[in-house]
């Protein structure tokens, strides 16, 4: 279908393309509209609505310019990739400085690997005594204060509901306690 546009260098309507494409290029008449729309979607064919008609066109120079632009984009990406590769290679080379294999480095690596289990053992022992850490103890105290405030708030709520039910329905405290499973010694925490 692009050959039709390039050979004629003309502007067509959809009905013109539906007549020309099957005869000259063997494109099935039922698929002309879909093929043309896909070319428009791919920016290979231009379209414009004038009044009630849609006009389609594509010139060889546009395709050439599009290919040149794409080639320039790809060349720019390639150059950027090469620069990134060069920068990464320099970073690798810089990181290798001081890591050459020598006797002193080998001794230090052996010492490091020998000290790692000891460090893990000390961390585990430190974790055992974590509950005696002043920060942890302070966090527990704060959590206890928050919990006590919450208990007091809920106790207030229970007493408020009991008072309301007593006034509204005239129930005795003992009947309310029994009905809702509230223990007889229910009171505020000290």
103-117 per-position pLDDT tens digit = 888 888 899 999 999
Residue 120's pLDDT is 93
Residue length of the chain? 190
**Could you give the 3-state DSSP secondary structure of residue 57?**
strand
**Could you give the 3-state DSSP secondary structure of residue 39?**
helix
User: Crossing angle of helices 32-41/14-25, nearest 10°?
Assistant: 110
Residue 142's pLDDT is 93
CA distances from 68 to 21, 88, 112 (A): 28, 30, 58
In 3D space, the residue among 32, 80, 78, 86 whose CA is nearest the CA of residue 56 turns out to be 32
Give the pTM.
0.36
- Burial 84-116, CB ≥16 within 10 A → b, else e: eeeeeeeeeeeeeeeeeeeeeeeeeeeeeeeee
Residue 185's pLDDT is 82
Per residue in 149-189, pLDDT tens?
999 999 999 889 888 888 888 888 888 888 888 888 888 87
Residue ranges in the chain whose pLDDT is less than 50: none
Residue 24's pLDDT is 82
Residue 53's pLDDT is 86
Distance CA 2, CA 58 (A): 7
Distance CA 160, CA 170 (A): 14
Distance CA 182, CA 157 (A): 13
**In contact, 48 and 13? CB cutoff 8 Å:** no
């Amino acid at each position: 279908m692009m050959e039709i546009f390039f050979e004629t260098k003309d502007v067509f309507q959809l009905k013109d393309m539906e007549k020309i494409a099957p005869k000259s290029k063997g494109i099935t008449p039922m698929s002309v509209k879909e093929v043309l729309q896909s070319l428009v979607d791919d920016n290979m064919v231009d379209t414009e609505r004038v009044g009630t008609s849609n006009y389609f066109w594509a010139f060889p120079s546009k395709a050439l310019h599009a290919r040149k632009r794409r080639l320039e984009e790809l060349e720019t990406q390639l150059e950027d990739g090469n620069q990134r590769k060069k920068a990464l290679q320099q970073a690798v080379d810089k990181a290798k400085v001081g890591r050459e294999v020598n006797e002193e480095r080998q001794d230090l690596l052996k010492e490091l690997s020998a000290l790692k289990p000891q460090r893990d053992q000390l961390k585990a022992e430190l974790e055992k005594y974590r509950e005696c850490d002043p920060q942890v103890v302070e966090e527990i105290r704060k959590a206890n204060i928050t919990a006590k405030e919450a208990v007091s708030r809920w106790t207030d709520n229970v007493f408020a509901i009991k008072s309301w039910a007593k006034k509204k329905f005239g129930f005795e405290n003992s009947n309310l306690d029994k009905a809702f499973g509230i223990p007889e010694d229910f009171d505020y925490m000290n």
